[in-house]
Structure 1
C-alpha cells in the first residue's frame, strides 16, 4: 500500500481512536501479535489501533500518530526477529511500543540521586544454625511475590523495592501474601526520600518501622505521581495493615 493510502487509513481511524482512548483506563499489559500482521499493512494498522485502545494512547496530531506508527512497526519487526531466535521467553507489545530505544532510555532510565546513606547496624549479617541450604529458591513458586506492578514514569523504584521486600518477608513469616502501598511511601516518607525523584530503601524501611506498618495497596492505591500524604490514613490504626516488625536492616 502506498504512503498516501496508509495516510488515508490512519486519518480515517484517528478520530475514532481518540474517542476510544478517552474512555479506556490505563492498563499495563502485553498485546499479542501474529507474524502475519507484518505482511499486511491493513492488519498492521488494525493491530496498532487495538494497541492504542488497550493502552489509552492519544496523539495530538495526525503527523505524530503516523510517526508513532512507524516506530511501532520498527519495534514489532525487532520483536518478531527476537521471537524467532529465542525459545525460553516470548516478547510482546507493551505500553512502550511506540517509543524508540533512545526515547525509552531518556524517559524511563538513568535516574541519579545523591542521598546520604544511613549508618548501618554494627552487627554483620551471618547465617546461624542453618544447614543444607538449597542452591536456589524461587520465591514466586513459594507464593511470596505479588503480581508484577508498574511504576510508570515516576522515579519510585526505591518504594517498589522496599514494598516488595516487605511483602515477601511478611508472607514468609505469616503465610499471608498482601499487596502493600508504594504510594504511602512516596507521599509520606519525605524527610530524606524524594517521591518520584528517587530515594533509598534504608529510609523507607525506617519509615515503616517508625510508622508501625504500611497500608494495603487497596487502601492507598498507586497514582504514578506524587500526591499529598493522607494523614488520616497514616494515623488511622484500624485501617493500617501492620506488617512484620523490622528490627534492623
Structure 2
C-alpha cells in the first residue's frame, strides 16, 4: 500500500505521537509463546489511534483463546492470520475487558463478541526490502517477525543492536519507528513484549540498512500491518480507560 510513497520522513517515533501503549509482558506463555498476539495487537492499537486519536489497549488474550483455527495460542502463531481473524470477527475487545492470563484458556465468547476496535484487512510488506518496510513504518506501527534466539539479543540492554544474528524467524514484535544516531548508524525502534525491564525500557533499537537484504535478525522478511479505512469502530463500551506510556 505504501510502496509508491516517495516523501518519507528521515525519522519517525510513534511513541511520541501517542500511538503506542505501555510495554507489556507475555510472561510464561510457554513453548513458542504468545508474541504473535502481542505483535498483532500492537499494530492494531497503533492504526486505531492514528485513525481515531484514541489509544486503547487491546486484548492479546482474545487472540490466544479464540483465534485457534490456524494460530496456536501459547504454541505460536502468525500476525497476518491474527489480522484476518480480527477483521472477520468484526473487531477485537479491550485488554481490560479480556485481560491477559499468560496461558491459553477456553474462548470466552461473550467477551469475544464485544469488540471495541475493528480493522478492514491487512497488507504484507514486500519481502526482504528494508526501504519498503521504512515506508510502511513511516505511516503506522508494523508487525515484524525476527530471530530473537541469540544470547546477544536476549541480553540486550541499550544502544543500537548490531550483534550476532540469524534469520530463523521465531519472535513477533512491532516496529514503531526508525532513526539515525549522531554517528550515522541507522536503526529501527522495536517494541518487544518481554516487559519494561528488558532492553531500553522494553524496546530495542536494531541496526537498519545492513548489507543483507533480509535485514538484521530477518526483520524485513515477514512484515505486515492492519488496514483501517475510517475512524469508525463497533459500539464502544465504557469499560476501558485511556492507555498511556
Of structures 1 and 2, the one scoring higher in RCO (CA 8 A, sep 6+) is 2
TM-score range for the pair, normalised by the shorter chain length: 0.3 to 0.5
Higher fraction of strand: 2
TM-score by length of 2: 0.47
TM-score by length of 1: 0.46
Higher fraction of helix: 1
| Structure whose alpha-carbon radius of gyration is higher | 1
